[in-house]
A and B are shown apart, each in its own frame.
Chain A
Amino acid sequence: MAEERKGPLGDEVSRRQFFTKLGLGSLSIAAVGTAAFSYQYLEPNVLYEPSPVVNAGNPDRYPLDSVTLDVNNGIYIIHSQEGYFSLSAVCTHLGCLTAWKQELGIIACPCHGSKFYVQAEDGHKPGDKIEGPAPKPLPWKRIWLNEDGDLLVDRSTDVPALARDSFVRV
């Protein structure tokens, strides 16, 4: 081919090859950019979801040794001898809402049968799994009192089970 000529530096790239490479390179960069922007577009930057911090009201609403399910927010408020603490009510298996079984004294998931402890007994912490497919215990959620004396729970923050700061004492 007449196009095959040596450049000034003696390399083997012809004008046509150079422009082919330039064109393909530009298209590749544009394709990568399009993929990146498409991915960003599909990922919402602002979410109009409920706040993770929930006001659970005055502690007097929860009698001693009671387990109260907040259906709308997916948390339990538990008033134990050690104080108030909060467990997530969302099953760690596939996200179903669990239920408090007062007659059995346990938390149970209606979807696939996972069961969880509520009381500390025999080395088990509240939230630990008794049986079922759940891979992890129900996480403890951060709980504290605000200036008005209401219990607040942050659903986005897990705290260690039975830790001193994981309880609220009134």
Chain B
Amino acid sequence: MSKTVDQYFDEVQQTRVWRSIFRSGTGSSTLKRALAIQQNVFLHLFSTKVRTRVLSFSATWYLGTLTLGTFMVLVATGIPLMLYYHPSVPQAYADTKDLQFVVSSGLFLRNLHRWAAHAMVFLVFAHMFKVFYRGAYRTPREFNWVIGIILLLITLLLSYTGYLLPWDQLAYWAITVGSNIASAVPLIGDKIHFLLLGGNAVNANALLRFYVLHCMILPLTAMFFVAIHFWRIRKDGGLYSHNSEPATVRYKNGQATNGKEAN
């Protein structure tokens, strides 16, 4: 007479609406579970099937995943912060103060954004050290290491552009010093400095340019490269494979054979 929650859930999954959204169908057969991953736009980047050993903590210390986690925290806290922040000289500092002292939960969001940013820079470096010392950049993952370097630079640029936005003394002088370092580039240094700031000094144009870079251009670029990063991990055999261990990197006639024989 009385149905269990599972039975209700099964009934919902049989409905036409549910089936129109999730095409892979119900059931826990290997095929259905594989289809659930493969037919999902967000999950299809990942392997349809993963061994538990690969997901063990010791394999990666979860550093790459944690980096993605901090990035998502930064997006989730950054967008609400944008609702109260005007990137203009008379208002930027006052808005930052308002977020800190007036807006409900503003202090929480701002601090979370700040600490997540620090954590992300730390985790990116930790992730790269891990990949370096474990030799995970070896064939066939060399190019994913290059994409990782690009993501490191984007992370540092995000950190740098966000630094100016509070528009306080610390921000102003940090960006003055940082942008003058760009001037040291031979021949085109002064041009880069001018284009970066949109003028000769840190001023209204610089604030707006850094805001657009921080909130639009750099995060979108980061997402683009993160997608490639993950796609290539999946194509190269998942998060962790014994193929990338030095002992089993075998060369036959000058060709690396890993990624072909195991997994």
Contact = CB atoms under 8 A, between A and B. Distances in A.
Contact of B177 (A42, A43, A47, A96): A96
Nearest to A111: B177
Q: Is the contact region of chain B dominated by helix, strand, or loop, or is it mixed?
A: helix
Contact of B199 (A44, A93, A94, A97): A44
A47 B194 CA distance: 11
Interface in B181-240: 181, 194-195, 198-201, 203-205
A47 B203 CA distance: 10
Contact of B200 (A49, A93, A96): A49
B194 A111 contact: no
Contacts of B200: 47, 49
Given A44-B205, A96-B173, A111-B173, A49 B180 contact: no
Interface in A120-165: none
Interface string B151-180: 000000000000000000000010011011
A72 B200 CA distance: 16
Given A47-B200, A49-B201, A94 B194 contact: no
B248 to A, nearest CB: 46
A48 B181 CA distance: 24
A48 B204 contact: yes
Contacts of B181: 94
Given A43-B194, A44-B205, A49 B176 contact: no
Interface in A12-65: 42-44, 47-49
A43 B197 CA distance: 10
Contact of B176 (A42, A44, A95): A95
Contacts of A95: 176-177, 179-180
A42 B195 contact: yes
Nearest to B203: A49
Given A49-B203, A94-B180, A95-B180, A44 B198 contact: yes
Nearest to A135: B184
A44 B176 CA distance: 19
A47 B176 contact: no
B177 A94 contact: yes
A96 B179 CA distance: 11
A37 to B, nearest CB: 15
Nearest to B198: A44
A96 B181 CA distance: 12
A45 to B, nearest CB: 11
Contacts of A97: 173
Nearest to B179: A95
Contacts of A111: 173, 177
Contacts of B198: 42, 44
Contacts of B173: 96-97, 111
Contacts of A42: 195, 198
A111 B203 CA distance: 20
A167 B195 CA distance: 35
Contact of A47 (B179, B180, B199): B199
Nearest to B175: A95
A49 B176 CA distance: 16
Interface in A51-105: 93-97
Q: Which 8 A-B pairs have the closest CB atoms?
A: A94-B177, A94-B180, A95-B180, A95-B176, A47-B199, A44-B198, A42-B195, A49-B199
Interface of B: 173, 176-177, 179-181, 194-195, 198-201, 203-205
Given A42-B198, A97-B173, 5 more contacts: A42-B195, A44-B198, A44-B199, A47-B199, A49-B201
10 contacts: A42-B195, A42-B198, A44-B198, A47-B200, A47-B205, A94-B176, A94-B180, A95-B177, A96-B177, A97-B173
